[in-house]
Amino acid sequence: MDSEKNQDTFGGYLKGFRVQQDLAIQTVSEKTKIAAHCLKAIEENAHDRLPPKAYVKSFIRTFADAVGANADVAVELYLSDLKKQENAKQHNRRRREKLWAVRRTMMAAGVIVGILFLLRYTDFFMAPAPPPNTTVPERTSLSEPSVSSAETAGNRPSPAKTQGKLKLKVVAVEQTWLKVIVDGQNARSYDLKPGDRLELEGTHSFNLMIGNATGLQINLNERPVKIFGSSGQVVSLKIP
């Protein structure tokens, strides 16, 4: 089909078939049991908003079957896009390493030049000895008004209150996968079985993507967190 040839990305490929079939995102979501926001992330090639790779491949195949696309083509496009992203990351990493090496070289050169300058011109920075029998006129010191300890304490800013840690406890009651981003840092993925436990600490927030809405019990600082959704439904949470 022409749609298979003209789309360069897995998201654009699947979206083309969905539009061609005149299907809304919500309709595909109800048909595949995949959350609408996950389907949108697939169409937008948004890897940072998707679950782990193994689950994404399954979602893509289900999406393709629902809209009449070729599942193998969609998965190949997804894997190709992952490879391109990894190559781009490696290129940027090597570029940053080269820039840092140049900066270190320049900093070392600057230090050496500074040392040589000091050694060469040390005599210019030495103060001459005072002439003999030179009297220094006396100066009358003016006493400054005293400030009471109470006033000083009153003007002194109070120390800022330290913010407490956020402690997240996760208990798996059904098999599910979990993707966690703590304080906006790198995402971590877990495959959890009933009885598995996780304890995470953060300062600002936790962003969770849960593969099974009824699969987890979550407590934040010993307080339960409500998870809305049915069994097998993918949900996203931001805590607090």
38 with 210: CB under 8 angstroms? no
Overall pTM surpassing 0.85 (yes/no): no
Structure tokens at 232: 């097998």
Owner of token pair 């877990």 = 190
* The pLDDT of residue 114: 81
3-state DSSP percent of the chain in helix, strand and coil, to 5 = 45, 20, 35
| 168 Rama class: left (phi>0) / alpha (psi -120 to 50) / beta | beta
**pLDDT at res. 44:** 95
Q: How many CB atoms lie within 10 A of CB 119?
A: 8
What's the confidence (pLDDT) of residue 158? 46
Query: What is the rounded distance in angstroms from the CA atom of residue 50 to the CA atom of residue 38?
Result: 7
Residue positions counted in the chain:
240
Domain range 1-124, CATH class: mainly alpha
Supply the pLDDT for residue 173: 95
C-alpha span between 81 and 76 (Å, rounded): 9
User: Is the sign of the CA dihedral 128, 129, 135, 141 positive or negative?
Assistant: positive
Q: Would you kindly state where each structural domain of the chain is located, as residue ranges?
A: 1-124, 166-239
Tell me the pairing of strands 223-225 and 176-182: unpaired
The predicted pLDDT at position 128 comes to 57
163: left (phi over 0), alpha (psi -120 to 50) or beta: beta
pLDDT tens for the chain, 240 residues long, are 444 444 689 999 999 999 999 999 999 999 999 999 999 999 999 999 999 988 999 999 999 999 999 999 999 999 999 998 888 888 888 888 888 888 888 888 888 888 887 777 675 555 555 555 545 445 544 444 444 444 444 445 444 444 578 999 999 999 999 999 999 888 899 999 999 999 999 998 999 999 999 999 999 999 999 999 899 899 999 999
The whole-number pLDDT of residue 5 equals: 42
